Structure 1
């Protein structure tokens, strides 16, 4: 084992989100333009072997939690092979996947067999017409079927359902999602809309604060506060009668940057220390030019040392990053 990876503010880095592709089969309004984005060439994307090497190096520095993201990660062929590589690394303690769910049902058995242990499924509406309005795809039933398929595997726990909350849209879905959480072994998590959309139409007026979401749920089903774990993004609540749980991720109204322990690697191998970073560190070229583990380690440590203390979404003069969420890795 190598010394713990730390940033210049004294935070131990323990979590990496690795994007395996920028491609996606949905066109969610908070993420991508309706016409999509130009895709990376295949040669520009890290290979599974390159990803496994970087993840293994990070894990040896104490970054024990790995989440695979995209784009839509299951759009990349035979993702189970990468899961198998990563799950074989004893230094990787938690291996999870964030997906829109469209392709999960047909792949879940292979993924679990390969060693996947947790899954987050994006689901922003339970009414078919509203699902289509937000994702620009008529695919609600496929996502619900995938959740049901994942539920059959007790190895995949907890199953988290991510709901991006948009003002004047999500309010009508809130109580339905609370009932959804009560009926299934899911943690339904409401995520405040962040300025990472492809249309660059974000404004604070479009953010539905989680305090309002919580008020709407509590009026129907009283909640008990379970708090937020250190380094966690979600403040969790359970229903007063003990069924199901709700999470609130509030990066706009209640930032949790102070104990952030996450870094990100984009599909083409750029290391980002914050979702809203304005700079990146290229790992792909050193990987392909024969850099040793020691050289890669030094490069990573130098970049992470400069990790931002906080994002500046709430500051005057905030500048939205050029990359969208799909290009960074959700």
Structure 2
């Protein structure tokens, strides 16, 4: 299939695909799977509703033919999906794919990091919202301490994987951990991304008052470090990056609440049950799984994806209001990934 580059109504190309491989996690985090909503009786997707690895591979090849250059595997916790390195191997062999990563809480990295690297994985994004074990146990809802995650980070580094730390900051919960996290990552040579607390899904009780903005975090860091801006590495890079002066270590901010980047968004998402979402804040996806299972050709699937992306005009963060936060239906993070 000849490689093309498709664009949406606002002239945004499709370059980046997030694939959620499973809808469950071994944590019940405050941010995306709060325990009061995702208790032991919560009905997760049956296996038959999940895309198979063969289906994911097929769709990934088609997405790459349409311009996608980067794929990140997400969840839930993607390492809970059986034989995940097998899928990584399949994806890493797709001609034209330049980058493949994985977002994880890090718990299972000591077991899988080496195998993932050998399968072709290039990097991992590890979610870590504090270095305080007591607070971290409260956030993850399982009482799991930080040491387990630090072991996972080390295992990824030892395996030769690139490592990036994602810290979601919520006012009154872990904003006191901003400087300690920056200090730790700087000393360890780890890239750190501060993520503004977002109104994803409908279960995390989001309020604007809970948001610590990029500007607030940046001003706090400036009290401790000299920071110099870094140019975007590519069109559509969502992180605003800075480098600690005199080092090659950078720190970034993902300000989707305070500084929208809708105008340069190049990202599509494929949920665990085969729905294409053109925006993280969408409540309605486009079912590609059932369409694909009707014995259609790759060209027909490509046409369907092209139609979905070409008709895209999502600008949720640009248009966010107090009313839209309350009334707009949004997909849960456990289904769509980050």
* TM-score normalized with structure 2 length: 0.93
Deviation at 1:320, TM superposition (A): 3.9
Matched, 1:142 2:139: no
Of 199, 202, 205 in structure 2, the residue corresponding to residue 201 of structure 1 is 205
Deviation at 1:275, TM superposition (A): 0.5
Task: Tell whether the 8 Å contact from 1:18 to 1:67 is kept in structure 2 after alignment.
Answer: yes
Task: Tell whether the 8 Å contact from 2:278 to 2:314 is kept in structure 1 after alignment.
Answer: no
Deviation at 1:315, TM superposition (A): 2.7
SS of residue paired to 1:220: coil
Matched, 1:286 2:326: no
Matched, 1:152 2:158: yes
Cα distance in structure 2, aligned partners of 1:246 and 1:240: 11
SS of residue paired to 1:301: helix
SS of residue paired to 1:12: coil
Q: CA offsets, 1:245-298, max 9 Å, x none?
A: 211000000011111100000000000000012321111112211011111111
Q: Which residue of 1 aligns with 2:105?
A: 100
Q: CA offsets, 1:140-195, max 9 Å, x none?
A: 211110101111133x22x1100001011232101111111211131110000111
Unaligned runs of 5+ in 2: none
Matched, 1:64 2:72: no
Q: Which residue of 2 aligns with 1:328?
A: 336
Say if 1:194 and 1:86 are closer, same or farther in 2 by CA, change over 3 A.
same
Task: Tell whether the 8 Å contact from 2:200 to 2:333 is kept in structure 1 after alignment.
Answer: yes
Deviation at 1:72, TM superposition (A): 0.3
Deviation at 1:200, TM superposition (A): 3.8
Say if 1:94 and 1:136 are closer, same or farther in 2 by CA, change over 3 A.
same
Say if 1:55 and 1:144 are closer, same or farther in 2 by CA, change over 3 A.
same
Q: Which residue of 2 aligns with 1:189?
A: 193
Task: Tell whether the 8 Å contact from 2:202 to 2:330 is kept in structure 1 after alignment.
Answer: no
Aligned length: 328
Where do 1:6-17 residues align within 5 Å? Answer: 6-17=7-18
Cα distance in structure 1, aligned partners of 2:314 and 2:112: 38
Deviation at 1:30, TM superposition (A): 0.8
Task: Tell whether the 8 Å contact from 1:17 to 1:68 is kept in structure 2 after alignment.
Answer: yes
Q: Which residue of 2 aligns with 1:216?
A: 220
Task: Tell whether the 8 Å contact from 2:5 to 2:13 is kept in structure 1 after alignment.
Answer: yes
Higher alpha-carbon deviation: 61-70 or 191-200: 191-200
* TM-score normalized with structure 1 length: 0.95
Q: CA offsets, 1:111-150, max 9 Å, x none?
A: 0000000110000110001101111121421111010111
Moved over 4 A (4+): none
Deviation at 1:222, TM superposition (A): 2.0
Task: Tell whether the 8 Å contact from 2:30 to 2:204 is kept in structure 1 after alignment.
Answer: no
Q: Which residue of 2 aligns with 1:172?
A: 176
Cα distance in structure 2, aligned partners of 1:228 and 1:296: 32
Q: Which residue of 2 aligns with 1:119?
A: 124
Unaligned runs of 5+ in 1: none
Deviation at 1:316, TM superposition (A): 4.9
Deviation at 1:102, TM superposition (A): 0.8
Cα distance in structure 2, aligned partners of 1:75 and 1:115: 18
SS of residue paired to 1:190: strand
Deviation at 1:208, TM superposition (A): 0.8
Q: CA offsets, 1:42-75, max 9 Å, x none?
A: 0000000000000001101111111100000000
Q: Which residue of 1 aligns with 2:29?
A: 28
Q: Which residue of 2 aligns with 1:239?
A: 244
